[in-house]
Amino acid sequence: MAETTNPVLAQLGWRPFFSEQVTPEQRGSCQPVRVMSVHRGRVTVSGEGIEDSISSKLPHGDGAEKRPTVGDWLLIDRETRDLVHILDRASLFKRPAPGDQRRVQLIAANVDTLFIVTSCDQDFNVARLERYLVLAGEVGVRAVVVLTKADLSSDADALVEAARALQADLQVELVNGRDPSSADKLARFCGFGQTVALVGSSGVGKSTLVNTLTGSTNIETQPVREDDGKGRHTTTVRQMHRLAPGLDGGGWLVDTPGMRELQMSEVAAGVTEVFDDVAAITLDCKFANCTHADEPECAIRAAMADGRLDPARVDRWRKLAEEDAVNSGAAALRRSRADKGRDRRR
């Protein structure tokens, strides 16, 4: 398809995964655009020769995942600019809708790399990093641990090692988020057509990093004027930021409140991926349903005893696996919340 070589689309992240989904009929009547931000009933989109706000209503079919979200690729009618189709997503961040656990809230689509941001000072926490790695594994994006505030720490190298030990071949970058030359270490993930997103606790330096990577002084003040479809102009905040041109012609950075708040939803696939070594050892337990507590011939206890497995790591694996089982039902989830509340009150 011609669009694969179109530089405007390529810069927006268009690639064979998307172009291959377009049928010959759609090629004639539709054009692909990427969602830059989402508002009530409307989305702002960018494509070849188009920067516009369009209705986010699909002609047929509804349901949670049938709504466009930030980062989505859409096919729109060349003439009417009506939304025709949402292309399958290469990756999708979602969570249970706040206040209604049965509904799904979409957060961002087609992210290539997730920056898991933590700082060298008080925030560094192995269990939290592991949770984010599980999330990245579940969504299917490449994870990069970004350790900020390198300039404030004297034992940063030890933290880098601790983070690297979490997963084979895990990328860990130590940066001073305020210093562009230091943040340049992240450039190889931010190149032409690439999309990155950040997660991490409050205060670890996400905004600082976003400002440095986009070459802007304040991301909060990048309004876009857009037509609300009724002839009025409203001012909204962009959710996909162009990365600094110095970073190889620019990729994209998704920064939305939903993304920042993201913790974990259901972690099924992810837990086994991050803890694949632990999962492999459980296969050697005598009983398939071993709880690794006091059963005879338990491979997990044996591995802890002879030093092959770190008991603290096994403990975290257990907690995540339990949470996983609980999360698989919304009712069960509410029960667990109630239990946790009760525990805290004890």
Ligand X SMILES: Nc1nc2c(ncn2[C@@H]2O[C@H](COP(=O)(O)OP(=O)(O)OP(=O)(O)O)[C@@H](O)[C@H]2O)c(=O)[nH]1
Is 298 labelled as part of a ligand binding site? yes
Query: Which residues sit opposite 254 in a β-bridge?
Result: 197, 240
Among all residues, whose Cβ is closest to ligand X? 205
CA within 13 Å, CB half, 324: 16
- The minimum distance between CB 120 and ligand X, in angstroms, equals 8
What is the residue-wise DSSP string for 248-305? TT--EEE--HHHHH---S--HHHHHHHTHHHHHHHTTSSSTT--SSS-TT-HHHHHHH
Residue 285 contact among Zn ion, ligand X, none, beta carbon within 5 to 8 Å by kind: Zn ion
Is 208 labelled as part of a ligand binding site? yes
Instruction: Establish if 261 lies at the interface with ligand X (CB under 6 A).
Output: no
Is 305 labelled as part of a ligand binding site? no
Judge whether 212 and 185 are in contact, CB under 8 Å. no
Phi, psi torsion values for 33, nearest 5 degrees: -140, 155
Is 150 labelled as part of a ligand binding site? yes
| Residue in the structure block whose two tokens are 């086994």 | 272
Instruction: Establish if 258 lies at the interface with ligand X (CB under 6 A).
Output: no
**Contacts for 113 with CB less than 8 Å, ≥ 6 apart:** 141, 142, 143, 144, 189, 194, 195, 196, 197
Instruction: Establish if 21 lies at the interface with ligand X (CB under 6 A).
Output: no
Is 148 labelled as part of a ligand binding site? yes
Candidates 32-40, 50-58, 148-156, 229-237; binding stretch for ligand X (CB under 6 A): 148-156
- Which positions lie near Zn ion, rule CB under 5 A? 285, 290, 292, 298, 300
Give the nearer residue to ligand X in terms of CB position, either 92 or 175.
175
Residue 177 contact among Zn ion, ligand X, none, beta carbon within 5 to 8 Å by kind: ligand X
Is 127 labelled as part of a ligand binding site? no
Task: Show the tokens assigned to 155.
Answer: 């034992």
Instruction: Establish if 152 lies at the interface with ligand X (CB under 6 A).
Output: yes
State the binding site: 148-151, 200-208, 285, 290, 292, 298
Binding region for ligand X (CB under 6 A): 148-149, 151-152, 176-178, 200, 202-208, 260
